[in-house]
Structure 1
Amino acid sequence: MDLPESPWWADQSRDGLLVADDLPEEWYLHLHFPGDRGDDPSLEIDELLGYDRWMTAPNEQYRVSVADQNETIDGRWRWIEHIPTHTRVMIRLQRQTFAVPEEVRITGVIYLPWRGGQPITSQLLRELPTARIEAAINKRLFAMKRTETRSGGKIVLPSGHKISERDLLNPIGDPKKTPDFYELVALQHGQLSRKNDRNPSATMSEINGVALSTAQGWITKARDRGLLPPGRRGRAG
């Protein structure tokens, strides 16, 4: 008797954060979520591990939430397997919304040997190609990339134009005349967010000399193009 097909929501690549083609040879992306579940347990895993737990600074002069400081919320655990050794690995993928340009990084790893109780060796740890996985995801998801030059770090836009971080807070220009306009909107918004601006859209309207509604419209279109992550409820900008 054939087993019933998995429901459409059980596919852990459905949200597009990690797909099979992002993994190097000899690595396999499981269909189901970690724990062979049909729903995403990422929030439960974070809670179990205390990932977003409040931390006390070494001098204990202040307490800071990891989620508030580093945007660690909304991370996603994905289940992959090393085919030759059958080692199962859960990797935590996190969109770095304050990075310029935005990127996805691996921010947590859980190793599970093929058989319970087997040791995890240093060789197995070295075989996890984190940098290659991150590079493949970012190449697929984001049109912009960073390049290092003699004059310092610059961002290469889809048109080939390069821009320095120090120029990201200059007026962007006319959307009908400026190449890579919405990429620049996303970069300016990200730069302001990284500087802890509480209302980036209002600041962008001031920088560019436009109405707040116009700046908000630019940001909405940048989100629609996948250049910015979805906005969060209760958070301005």
Structure 2
Amino acid sequence: MPASTPRPGDQSYDGLLVADDLPDGWYLPSRFPGERDDDASEQIDGVLGYNDGVATDSQQETQSASDENETIDGRWRYLEHEATHTRVMIRLQRQLLAVPEEIRITGVIYLPWRPGDPITSQLLRELPTARIEAAINKRLFAMKRTETITGGKIVLPSGRKVSERDLLKPLGDPKKVPDFYEMVALQHGRLTQQGDINPSATMAQLSGVALSTAQGWITKARDRGLLPPGRRGRAG
């Protein structure tokens, strides 16, 4: 997650959630969860015991070195419904190893307008989590996933559609292939998801190029924001 310092109460400081991501009828107050001016996401996770499996430094290091999506370093954001004044806190988490990378809502705290009022199933169903996720991912990531009758397809910025099996094919010439660096990011993500400890070497082999060439492609994909920063001490 970005480490920038927010203005007091600015929930959009890190770009993870902005007001335009919310459906009509919902808004993003100028204060963080807990009626605070600062982002207390780490403390909220601690109070809830959200990351009880990564409570120690050793457990956090183990997760950071794994090939599973991380659960640490999520961000809690506070929403309100304009008509009912329902108060909701949602937890946003980057899914770094998803293909394509995405943001998911990984926790919800629902508070009624008046303390003590009951929580009904109807009110819970009206919480637009899927629409919020879709809006965030459309804004942050150039690629989107669409489901077709024949299975999952990934729609690239040019409109070109690729299937899952296309992700491990040779990438071709960056000057001739539309969405080349998006394909670099997708191939890298798929290999990482499969447990490849050195995806850059595998990518070089798949495309029949030098390792330095594949590493250069990956660097450019990172520079374009299509891949997250590399983890220190890990190949690829």
Cα deviation per residue 1:69-105 (whole Å; 9 max; x = unaligned)?
A: 4422332111111122212111011222222222221
Could you tell me how far 1:162 is from its partner in structure 2?
1.4
Alpha carbons of 1:9 and 1:190: their partners in 2 closer, same or farther (altered >3 Å)? farther
Q: Give yes or no for the alignment of 1:14 onto 2:9.
A: no
Q: Deviations over 1:168-208 (max 9, x none)?
A: 01111111111100100110011012112222223222222
How big is each residue's C-alpha offset from its partner over 1:118-146, in whole Å with a ceiling of 9 and x where there is no partner?
Answer: 32222221221111111111111122122
How far does residue 9 in structure 1 lie from its aligned partner after superposition? 6.0
Deviation at 1:10, TM superposition (A): 4.2
Question: If the length of structure 1 is used for normalisation, what is the TM-score?
Answer: 0.84
**Alignment partners' CA distance in 2, 1:10 and 1:236:** 39
Partner Cα separation in structure 2 for residue 166 and residue 48 of structure 1: 43
RMSD of the alignment, in Å? 2.2
Cα distance in 2, alignment partners of residues 203 and 50 from structure 1: 39
Once the two structures are TM-superposed, the CA of residue 26 in structure 1 deviates from its matched residue by 1.2
Aligned to 2:123: 124
Alpha-carbon separation, structure 2, partners of 1:47 and 1:205: 42
Identity, in percent, stands at 77
**Partners of 1:53 and 1:66 within 8 A in 2:** no
CA distance, structure 1, for counterparts of residue 149 and residue 115 of structure 2: 51
How many angstroms apart in 1 are the aligned matches of 2:34 and 2:235? Answer: 36
Instruction: Specify every segment of 5 or more residues in structure 1 that has no aligned partner in the other structure, as ranges.
Output: 1-6, 56-64
Q: Distance in 1 between matches of 2:9 and 2:211?
A: 41
2:69/2:96 contact within 8 Å kept: no
Amino acid at match of 1:80: L
Q: 1:33 and 1:166, CA in 2 relative to 1: closer, same or farther beyond 3 A? A: same
Name the structure 2 match of 1:111: 110
Q: Give the match's secondary structure for 1:168.
A: helix
CA contact (8 A) 2:169 2:206 kept: yes
Residue number in structure 1 paired with 2:81: 82
Aligned to 1:181: 180
- The amino acid of 1:76's aligned partner reads R
Alignment of 1:8-157 (within 5 A): 8=7, 10-54=9-53, 68=66, 69-157=68-156
CA distance in 2, matches of 1:42, 1:31: 16
Q: CA deviation at 1:66?
A: 7.7
Mean alpha-carbon deviation: is it higher for 65-74 or for 19-28? Answer: 65-74
Letter in 1 for 2:100: P
Q: Runs in 1 of length 4+ with deviation above 4 angstroms?
A: 65-68
Structure 2's unaligned 5+ residue stretches are: 1-5, 55-61
CA gap of 1:126–1:66, structure 2 versus 1, over 3 A, is farther
- 1:58 corresponds to which residue? none
User: Corresponding residue for 1:214?
Assistant: 213
Q: Which amino acid aligns with 1:172?
A: L
The answer (yes or no) to whether the contact 1:80–1:88 under 8 Å persists in 2 is yes
- Contact 1:52 1:66 survives alignment (8 Å): no
**Alignment length, in residue pairs?**
222
Q: Kindly provide the CA deviation profile for residues 38-62 of structure 1, in whole angstroms up to 9, marking residues without a partner as x.
A: 332222222322222229xxxxxxx
